Amino acid sequence: MLTATYIFLWAALVLYGLHLLGGSDWAGWGGTGGAVAAWVVLTGGLAIRGLRAGHWPLTNRYEFGLCFLWALLAVHLLLEISAGERRWGGFGIGVAILVATTALAHPPGERAIYPLAPALRSVWLPIHGLTAAVGYGACGVGAGLALMRTVHPGGERGPKWPPVVSVERAMGRALGLGFPWLTLSILSGGIWAEVAWGRYWGWDPKESWSLVVWLGYLLFFHLRAVRGWRGRRLAGVVVAAFVLLYFGFVGIPALVRGIRLESLHGF
């Protein structure tokens, strides 16, 4: 399932790139088709995995990575349809390939289906997991658009890039969607922690880093109202915030395991 998704993502990246560089409509439609195919295959794979496991596929970093990728592609396609713009598609798909590559890097043992641990048998598993996945996915799309804004040639000669204002508007829409879901993820995680461990917040490494990420995106919403924080500077803040988010997804669990930090979170 993930291998087929990965192939479709690379095909979409190439076709979106041809659309941006050459303005070919068939390449643009092909890029969209590749993204849709990747999302459909991934949706089917997640549904089958959930049915086989008998629970939501959100129980480890591998499964969450798949849901992260699923949400990213869904937001990417919804934004493309609503804006009627495909020229920025390659940047969002580039972020999707990063997420998919991380998932593929997990060894087979971590990708196997295991019985649900007692601590995860809670209604808060899908609530907390899905809100985080949607928030991460929307912020991933925003990061792709921010990256495009940082390298946008502006009025210079070059590829037929979309107008700067449309890229910035789409970036704001993606983050406007993602930030509330990140907030809901932290709130639902706190409620689940109270139910499971008897406290809402314990300054666990994962909890502390989620606050850092949340503050990073909050900074974006404050700075975009400040004179002088426009264009590439603001896009740079978005890219930096996503680096923090991705480090929380990949780096914090690695640190917990590597230097044996005390943490109650499995991923």
Query: Is 87 in contact with 162 (CB distance < 8 Å)?
Result: yes
More confident residue, 89 or 266: 89
27 vs 17: CA distance, rounded Å: 8
16 vs 97: CA distance, rounded Å: 13
Would the pTM count as exceeding 0.85? yes
DSSP string across 183-217: HHHHHHHHHHHHHHHS-S----HHHHHHHHHHHHH
23 vs 119: CA distance, rounded Å: 52
pLDDT, tens digit, for every residue of 66-85? 999 999 999 999 999 999 89
Secondary structure letter of residue 159 according to DSSP: S
Secondary structure letter of residue 163 according to DSSP: P
- Burial of residue 36 (CB within 10 Å: 0-12, 13-18, 19+) is middle
**Hey, what are 2's tokens?**
């993930």
Check whether 7 has a pLDDT greater than 60: yes
DSSP 3-state of 261: coil
Confidence tier at 24 by pLDDT (50, 70, 90): confident
What average pLDDT score do residues 203-215 get? 89
**Hey, what are 45's tokens?**
């794979």
CA dihedral 182, 184, 188, 190 (to 10 degrees): 70
What percent of the chain is predicted at pLDDT more than 90?
A: 56
Task: End-to-end CA distance of the chain: give it in Å, rounded.
Answer: 22
Handedness of CA 228, 233, 234, 237 (dihedral sign): negative
Query: Is 92 in contact with 76 (CB distance < 8 Å)?
Result: yes
Q: Which amino acid is at 173?
A: R
State how far Cα 117 lies from the chain centre. 26
> How crowded is residue 94: how many other Cβ atoms within 10 Å of its Cβ?
19
What pLDDT does 155 receive? 56
Q: Which amino acid is at 116?
A: L
**Hey, what are 239's tokens?**
């890219």
pLDDT, tens digit, for every residue of 151-186? 988 754 445 888 888 999 999 999 999 999 999 999
Query: Is 202 in contact with 264 (CB distance < 8 Å)?
Result: yes
What pLDDT does 157 receive? 47
Q: To which residue do tokens 């932290």 refer?
A: 186
Q: How far is CA 2 from CA 100, 185, 189, 202, in A?
A: 8, 25, 28, 35
Mean predicted lDDT score pLDDT of the chain: 88
State how far Cα 149 lies from the chain centre. 18
Closest by CA to 132, choosing from 73, 183, 82, is 183
